[in-house]
Amino acid sequence: MLKLLGAYGSPFVRKVKVVLDEKGLAYEHEQIVPFPATPEYRKISPLGKIPAFMDGDKALADSSIICAYLEKAHPAPALYPSDPYEYARALWFEEYGDSGLSPIVGGKMFFNRIIGPRFLKRAFDEALFQQALDKDLPPMFDYLENQIAGDYLAGGMFSIADLAIATQFVNYRFAGGSLAHSRWPKLAAYIQRIQARPKFAAAIAIEEKMFGGGRD
Ligand SMILES: N[C@@H](CCC(=O)N[C@@H](CS)C(=O)NCC(=O)O)C(=O)O
């Protein structure tokens, strides 16, 4: 049996969940909150982060590693382009989402405004939030706006690139961010299109009940 470990609200858990769903795989989803990670959980995820994954007794950690494993183990439908350069571009956009957008959207916005105050008794740092909106994100959104040429970011197909970018924008919206009426029309339409895919939309709908309401 396949098992996804990690809590709703995490863009990385969502990334793996949508890969599993797009590939039509059956799996259990165990809600693991990593604040703090237990010694037991660290045996599966040595850095103490979510998600982790079990395929029977085989354990894996890190969303990118888990998604790469799922692609090898269950190749259809393909979620990585086959052309070498487009494959590398897809990995680049995954990295851009995971290491570029996430520290800002996840750390300075979603965690700062939602998770910290709601679950960890941490005060909301409004200056940090505003810094993300005013300084950090505009050049990143400009970059993405310029990268969007067709329906998808890499290889002319829905891929890990689109998933890794669009998952960050779920947290962006949950934290109160908006792309509407913005200076990024291509990006706004692209994100809406990717998140409207049935499996993606279904994953978001579950979390919407928890995080989509009013902001704290
Ligand atoms: N590179 C990792 C990042 C995972 C990550 O940062 N997860 C966050 C939640 S969204 C976490 O577990 N944080 C707990 C911690 O850093 O202690 C991945 O892609 O899985």
Inside any domain, residue 22: yes
Ligand 1: residues with CB < 6 A are 10, 12, 34, 48-51, 62-64, 98, 106
Q: For residue 142, tell me if it sits in a domain.
A: yes
Q: Other CB atoms closer than 10 Å to residue 15's CB: what's the count?
A: 25
Are residues 65 and 98 located together in one domain of the fold?
no
Domain boundary among 73, 108, 134: 73
**CA-based torsion, 35, 70, 103, 119: positive or negative:** negative
Q: Whose CA is nearest to atom 16 of ligand 1?
A: 49
Contact residues for 65 (Cβ-Cβ < 8 A; gap 6+): none
Residue 118 Cα to ligand 1 midpoint, Å, equals 18
- Domain count across the chain: 2
* Spacing of C-alpha 140 from chain mean position: 16
Q: How far, in Å, from the CA of 94 to the mean position of ligand 1?
A: 14
Domain co-membership, 115 together with 17? no
* Beta-strand runs (E) in the chain: 2-5, 27-30, 52-55, 58-61
pLDDT at 212: 86
The predicted pLDDT at position 182 comes to 79
The model carries a pTM of: 0.97
Same domain, 192 and 118: yes
Q: Are residues 195 and 97 in the same domain?
A: yes
Residue 63: give its domain's CATH number: 3.40.30.10
Token readout for 198 is: 């049935």
| Domain end residue (candidates: 11, 45, 73) | 73
Classify residue 216: in a domain, yes or no: no
Q: pLDDT per position in the chain (216 positions), as tens?
A: 999 999 999 999 999 999 999 999 999 999 999 999 999 999 999 999 999 999 999 999 999 999 999 999 999 999 999 999 999 999 999 999 999 999 999 999 999 999 999 999 999 999 999 999 999 999 999 999 999 999 999 999 999 999 999 999 999 999 999 997 779 999 999 999 999 999 999 999 999 999 987 554
**Sequence-separated (6 or more) residues with CB below 8 Å from residue 64:** 94, 98
Tell me, yes or no, whether 163 and 112 share the same domain. yes
Same structural domain for residues 91 and 194? yes
For a substitution probing ligand 1, which of 15, 16, 18, 50 has the most ligand atoms within 8 Å of its CB?
50
Same domain, 68 and 102: no
What pLDDT is recorded for position 180?
A: 76
Question: Residue 99: how many CA atoms within 13 Å on its side-chain side?
Answer: 8
Residue of 49, 96, 211 best suited for mutating to test ligand 1, as the one with most atoms within 8 Å of CB: 49
Same domain, 112 and 202: yes
Residue 78 included in any domain: no
Q: Which residues face 5 on adjacent strands?
A: 30, 52
**101 HSE (CA, 13 A, CB side):** 27
**112 lies in the same domain as 69:** no
Asked, for residue 25, whether it belongs to a domain, the answer is yes
- 101 and 54, same domain (yes or no): no
Distance, in Å, from the CA atom of 69 to the CA atom of 72, rounded to the nearest integer, reads: 5
Q: In this predicted structure, what is the pLDDT of residue 215?
A: 54
Q: Which residues constitute the domain of residue 89?
A: 84-211
Q: What is the CATH number of the domain that holds 97?
A: 1.20.1050.10
Q: Looking at 14, 43, 73, which one is the last position of a domain?
A: 73
| pLDDT score, position 100 | 98
Kindly state whether residues 197 and 91 are assigned to the same domain: yes
Tokens describing residue 6 = 């990690």
Looking at the structure, tell me whether residues 101 and 40 fall in a common domain: no
107 CA to middle of ligand 1, Å?
10
Residue 134 burial (CB count, 10 A): 9
Cβ atoms of 137 and 104 within 8 Å: the answer is: yes
Please tell me the distance between residue 49's alpha carbon and the centre of ligand 1 in angstroms: 4
Asked if the structure places residue 151 within a domain, the reply is yes
- Answer whether 171's CB lies under 8 Å from 110's CB: yes
